A and B are shown apart, each in its own frame.
Chain A
Amino acid sequence: MNLDPVQVMKGQSNPKDPTAAPVTASSNGDGKGAWEEKEEFDQGHLGLTTKPLLPKPENAVTIAVSSRVLFRTETEQKVYEQKGVEEYLRYQVEHENEPFAPGPAFSFVKALEAVNARLRELYPESEELFDIVLVTYNHAHVGVRLINTINHHNLFIERFCMTGGSSPIGYLKAWQTNLYLSADAEKVREALSEGIAAATMFMSNKLTEVSQTQLRVAFDGDAVLFSDESERIFKAQGLDGFFQHERDNEDILLDRGPLKDFLASLGKLQKKFYAKGHRLDCPIRTYLVTARSAASSGIRALKTLRAWGLETDEALFLAGAPKGPMLEKIRPHIYFDDQMFHVEGAAEMGTVAAHVPYGIAQKHPHKKSLNTGN
């Protein structure tokens, strides 16, 4: 039974038509039918006058962020760790009118909103937009402070859930989340295991300036867009074994990785800009930044992307060279990598990097791996 009030409304007579046949509440047990025929309120009268309508989750690209990555909450974290949850909540309420400072995901979220603004200009009726939701394990006591902060920074976040400690995975699924960003690796792992693209973000003290007009998203290849198959081969058979394997399997597609669908959703939005003649100045730009080398192992990666009907605007094959300097040139709003070594390296140079805790690299975090090899 579909209880989505908006969907039930479709096919009904125009609710604003005063001559429409009255819909009566039916009795006992069937009450749900009439109950669900909720009219779409004129949101202008409900305190949403200056804000555009929000898309339905299935049409939008839903990005869920936790409070700790959207904002800086180190002070409060310390209170929690040192003095316990009661004191932490009391502190939050006491400082309710002090907005939090921006966190690692902040510029990414701002860039998403900039893309939305452009999309709304070109497609005013469309719901194919980014929908940013705040999903936090925080207790609702922190709610007022979070809302005050969202207002202070003029963010367009209308949907949130504060679960007071319970797992938000169910809500992530209910809202068809396309990407979940959190400061907590455990929660990110849980999301990944449930098939939700997710990554852990860390606060960095150095942040290079990023574009205000173009969203830039960079992805590592193996174990991010693609499966960790190559990592496994490398660990089992070494670099030569890896190269041989890639040559032998050049025409066999790599398996998908956890962020493949997210790249696809970005591509879908890009095409909307292209359709209106904005190919060269598209406000979304994607990058593949891989340790594979262009002449050899990179071919398989490109063939796979092509077969999936996906592309990135730029593909950078580093053949094992460090990623930091390249990322510093690109200045993405976010860079996804499965290896902490690279995430840390990127952060050192001021790039916002997010860790995707997926695949074999997680089991041997300090050992030499494909991407640090030569």
Chain B
Amino acid sequence: MDSMVRNPDVKQRDAAQAVVVAVSSDAIFDPEVEQVHGATEPLRKGDAFSFMKAIQVVNERLLTLNSDETLLFDVILLSNDSEEKHSRIIASAKHYGLDIGRFCFCNKEDSIESLQSNEVKLFLSMDTNDVCKALQKGVPAALLYHQTDPNHQTEDQLKVVFSGDVIGSSEEMLHGLREQGFTETQLQGFKTAKGSVKEFAILMGEMRRRFGLEGSPLCTGLMTVWSSRDVCASALKTLRGWGLLVDEAFCLAGAPRSPILNLGFIGNTMKSSTYVKEGRDYSMYYGLEV
């Protein structure tokens, strides 16, 4: 059971045509450690804040090019907060002028269902478990991670970077993982991850094509973290087959990713999903690095 509240300040998108993105409220607004009863001032900005602003810029540019554009980002704020915080969340969104179309308030257990019923194309959260659960149910999701310097993020360009390791993965590579001890369920999970990012990638490809090569508010990229360059090449071709020609490509081959992602000019970044196997954590980088 969830309660959906439409934001009266924002023009509602046609959800069937739009790119519906659900963002956890804990990512947009800093989850406060102390609950101050009756507090009314706007919540502090969270780690996804500049990402929200960048989405707004893309939407504005799309509408400038075509005022009847329907391929826009449609943001749902997903909140598991207590009822007394609801109005404060709505008020904070208004205060910052955030382009949030709908607020979805529900219990944690019902989150996945809400995401599914709203046909969310991507779910973003800072909670590893939430992201994992969503992915396992086939909901495309990505983890937002702690940006070290929120002031260093650019707000005028949305950078969406896809994971080459999953997109470029092949049956052969998955077979290798089987030998590493991954179960069939988990391998199936990887395949699901690759499948669920496909739809989002197609949409990003379409959206990217609305803009020219230079000066686009939407910049797309590919990052391969630990696989070889051939996996990267395979990912580039796969994305191309899905209609997405990325602007940037990075192949790290195990080099630390964080210095690259933390650089201010790369803009907002989100982490990938984490696949947890007993005794080990494997980061399967699948989705969005924005």
Contacts and interface: CB of A to CB of B under 8 A. Distances in A.
A148 B274 CA distance: 31
Given A28-B126, A32-B146, A22 B247 contact: no
B253 A54 contact: yes
Interface stretch (B57-65, B68-76, B114-122, B224-232): B224-232
B180 to A, nearest CB: 6
Given A38-B283, A46-B173, A158-B251, A31 B127 contact: yes
Contacts of B278: 22
A141 B245 contact: yes
Interface in A12-52: 15, 17-18, 20-29, 31-32, 34-39, 41-48, 51
A161 B249 contact: yes
A26 B126 CA distance: 11
Interface stretch (A104-112, A167-175, A182-190, A314-322): A167-175
Contact of A34 (B146, B176, B281): B281
A41 B232 contact: no
Nearest to B266: A170
Interface string B143-187: 101101000000000000000000000001100110110000000
A51 B263 contact: no
B283 A5 contact: yes
Interface string A120-158: 000000000000000000011101100110110000011
Interface in A297-313: none
Contacts of B280: 15, 20, 23, 39
Nearest to B146: A32
Given A6-B254, A28-B31, A157 B279 contact: no
Contact of B233 (A56, A143, A159): A143
A1 B256 CA distance: 13
A150 B228 CA distance: 12
B76 to A, nearest CB: 19
In this complex, which of A20, A21, A26, A46 has the most chain B Cβ atoms within 10 angstroms of its Cβ?
A46
Given A1-B148, A27-B128, A151-B230, A144 B236 contact: yes
B51 to A, nearest CB: 17
B229 A150 contact: yes
Nearest to B276: A25
A89 B213 contact: yes
A160 interface: yes
B221 interface: yes
Given A35-B143, A141-B245, A143-B232, A160 B250 contact: yes
A211 interface: no
A361 interface: no
Contacts of B172: 47
A43 B252 CA distance: 13
Contact of A85 (B213, B227, B253, B281): B213
A126 to B, nearest CB: 16
Contacts of B263: 170-171, 174
A11 interface: no
B255 A161 contact: no
A51 B255 contact: no
Contacts of B179: 45
Interface string B124-141: 001111001000000000
A47 B230 contact: yes
Most buried by B among A3, A45, A47, A54: A47
Contacts, number: 186
B213 A45 contact: no
Given A28-B127, A171-B260, A162 B279 contact: no
Interface residues of B, number: 61
B232 A3 contact: no
Interface residues of A, number: 67
A296 interface: no
B128 A4 contact: no
Contact of B227 (A24, A47, A160): A47
B8 interface: no
A72 to B, nearest CB: 20
A279 to B, nearest CB: 33
Given A48-B228, A85-B213, A89-B213, A166 B274 contact: no
B228 to A, nearest CB: 5
Contacts of B106: none
A57 B226 contact: no
B219 interface: yes
B127 A27 contact: yes
Contact of B229 (A38, A158, A164): A158
B81 to A, nearest CB: 12
A277 interface: no
A81 interface: no
B258 A3 contact: yes
Contact of B255 (A31, A35, A151, A159): A159
B191 interface: no
Nearest to A173: B259
A248 interface: no
B163 to A, nearest CB: 13
A244 interface: no
Contacts of A158: 228-229, 251, 253
Contact of A159 (B176, B177, B253): B253
Contacts of B271: 32, 35
A163 B250 CA distance: 8
A240 interface: no
A159 B228 CA distance: 9
17 contacts: A20-B280, A21-B279, A22-B279, A28-B31, A28-B127, A29-B146, A35-B274, A41-B226, A45-B176, A56-B256, A57-B256, A140-B222, A144-B236, A161-B250, A162-B249, A163-B248, A170-B260
Given A1-B146, A21-B279, A35-B283, 17 more contacts: A15-B279, A25-B276, A38-B282, A45-B173, A45-B177, A47-B173, A47-B176, A56-B254, A85-B214, A140-B246, A147-B232, A159-B255, A161-B248, A161-B249, A165-B247, A170-B263, A170-B266
